[in-house]
């Protein structure tokens, strides 16, 4: 219960027993009203404006289930500019801070989930929504301050809202720590999921995971964001089978297609040959090569080019795809880096020989992803429209950015033939994750 005293025109809309909102009574009042918070929806009408909780959620991009502090709706209605006018950055920051964002005390730290060189990840709970969150604490003990990877992750993720990208809810900055508050996913990494399948993943499930990967990536690329570190260990799959891009620590926002970047990016096995040969001028195709490698790995259960050094990686690539020539990669023979290796003249092998489970459409798409010349690689947008995905239906092509692929009727995961983990169409739940829930280990 709470008490609110006001002299504004207020509408109290009471929730009926069936959970609907059947009646509303508007009244002018100066009396104290004692109202059950869970059964009332407030509207503040000030100078002809009607302000509701959902308006604030939309105005500030808040979660639908957020609990606004007592009295906040009234204060926001008094201070906010008209909704047809932009809200200043300063007022927006102040509003979010007053709700509880950007404050450590808003979150309850629970179990430790993992630790790396710069960061430790904890499971936590938000006092604003009562939902579980993942708290990524990045230590600022070094003289140079926040690691550049953390700065990149924050600056890029805060503007990315997509069903196939992990959501960054909040950022908390103190003298010793930068805490990133992510959505909490009861999840496996794609790498773990493939391992649990015993290298025999359903080709149908491969198609659904690949489509989701391309959806998230196309969204990033439309916003001129390169991930630059795609690998199965950076792709999360929750218990519904939703795949989400994570770990944007190496990601970059590109201002122009040929901007120069470092070539020391992307885990070796998923690094394209142009970057391996020292190219620092690249664009979205850097991610598309990685998609091709992940596609192959899901189909076969093994990495395509598991090189131990740059030279070994290039050797593996050329042994399967053929040593490049001026015809297959214009300009390659004049590359000093390429000439220093003196590679044997390998002939290209059909990819289907290495991945016999892939159909003709899948083979065509894989070939379009694994092109030597960056500009010849298929884009994420075009890959989504490839005939390989025709069996998923037309509706998956028109989904809203925040809509799950599983919101489309008939789209669901099949049971995987692997030994240790299977996905059942009835629930689309991962048994290993459900077992964790039963055991209380997450």
The residues annotated with a catalytic role in the active site are: 229
Rounded to whole angstroms, how far apart are CA atoms 288 and 255?
Answer: 19
d(CA 109, CA 125): 7
CB 413 within 8 A of CB 425: yes
Q: Is 89 exposed, middle or buried (0-12, 13-18, 19+ CB in 10 A)?
A: exposed
Contacts of residue 170, Cβ cutoff 8 Å, sequence gap at least 6: 101, 102, 106, 107, 180, 181
Q: Which residues pair with 136 in a beta bridge?
A: 121, 180
339 is in an annotated binding site: no
Q: Are 258 and 236 in contact (CB under 8 A)?
A: no
Cα–Cα distance list, 352 to 203, 302, 357, 404 (Å): 14, 14, 8, 31
3-state DSSP assignment of residue 51: strand
Cα distance between residue 306 and residue 68, in whole Å: 51
DSSP 3-state assignment of 149? helix
Measured between alpha carbons, how far is 55 from 142 in angstroms, rounded to an integer?
42
Helices in 255-370 by DSSP H: which ranges? 273-276, 285-300, 310-321, 336-341, 351-354, 360-369
Q: How many CA atoms lie within 13 A of 376 on its CB side?
A: 13
Q: State the chain's maximal CA–CA distance in angstroms.
A: 89
CA atoms within 13 A on the CB side of 83: 16
What is the CA 175 to chain-centroid distance, rounded? 28
Give binding residues for ATP as ranges.
136
Give binding residues as ranges.
136
């Amino acid at each position: 219960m709470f008490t609110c005293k006001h002299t504004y025109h207020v509408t109290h809309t009471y929730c009926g027993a069936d959970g609907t909102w059947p009646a509303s009574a508007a009244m002018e009042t100066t009396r104290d009203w004692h109202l059950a918070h869970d059964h009332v929806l407030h509207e503040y009408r000030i100078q002809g404006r009607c302000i509701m909780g959902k308006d604030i959620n939309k105005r500030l991009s808040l979660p639908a289930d957020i609990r606004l502090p007592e009295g906040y709706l009234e204060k926001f209605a008094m201070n906010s500019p008209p909704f047809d006018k932009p809200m200043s950055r300063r007022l927006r920051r102040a509003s979010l801070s007053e709700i509880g964002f950007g404050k450590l005390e808003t979150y309850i730290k629970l179990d430790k989930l993992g630790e790396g060189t710069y960061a430790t990840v904890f499971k936590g709970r938000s006092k604003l929504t009562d939902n579980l969150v993942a708290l990524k604490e990045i230590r600022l003990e070094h003289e140079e301050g926040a690691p550049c990877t953390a700065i990149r992750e924050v600056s890029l993720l805060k503007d990315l809202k997509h069903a196939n990208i992990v959501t960054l809810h909040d950022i908390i900055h103190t003298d010793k720590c930068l805490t990133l508050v992510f959505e909490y996913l009861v999840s496996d990494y794609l790498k773990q999921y493939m391992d649990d399948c015993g290298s025999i993943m359903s080709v149908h499930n491969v198609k659904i995971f690949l489509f989701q990967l391309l959806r998230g990536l196309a969204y990033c690329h439309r916003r001129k964001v390169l991930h630059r570190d795609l690998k199965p260990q950076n792709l999360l799959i929750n218990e519904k089978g939703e795949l989400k891009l994570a770990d944007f620590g190496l990601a970059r926002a590109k201002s122009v297609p040929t901007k120069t970047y470092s070539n020391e990016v992307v885990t070796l096995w998923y690094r394209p040959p142009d970057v391996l040969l020292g190219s620092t001028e690249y664009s979205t195709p850097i991610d598309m090569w990685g998609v091709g490698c992940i596609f192959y790995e899901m189909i076969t259960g093994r990495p395509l080019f598991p090189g131990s050094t740059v030279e070994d990686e290039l050797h593996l690539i050329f042994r399967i795809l053929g040593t490049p020539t001026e015809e297959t990669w214009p300009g390659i023979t004049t590359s000093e880096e390429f000439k220093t290796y003196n590679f044997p003249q390998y002939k290209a092998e059909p990819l289907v020989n290495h991945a016999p489970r892939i159909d003709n459409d899948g083979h065509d798409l894989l070939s379009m992803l694994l092109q030597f010349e960056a500009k010849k690689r298929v884009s994420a947008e075009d890959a989504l429209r490839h005939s390989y995905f025709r069996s998923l239906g037309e509706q998956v092509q028109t989904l809203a950015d925040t809509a799950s692929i599983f919101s489309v009727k008939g789209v669901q995961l099949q049971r995987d033939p692997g030994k240790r983990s299977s996905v059942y169409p009835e629930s689309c739940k991962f048994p290993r994750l459900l077992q964790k829930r039963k055991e209380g280990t997450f």
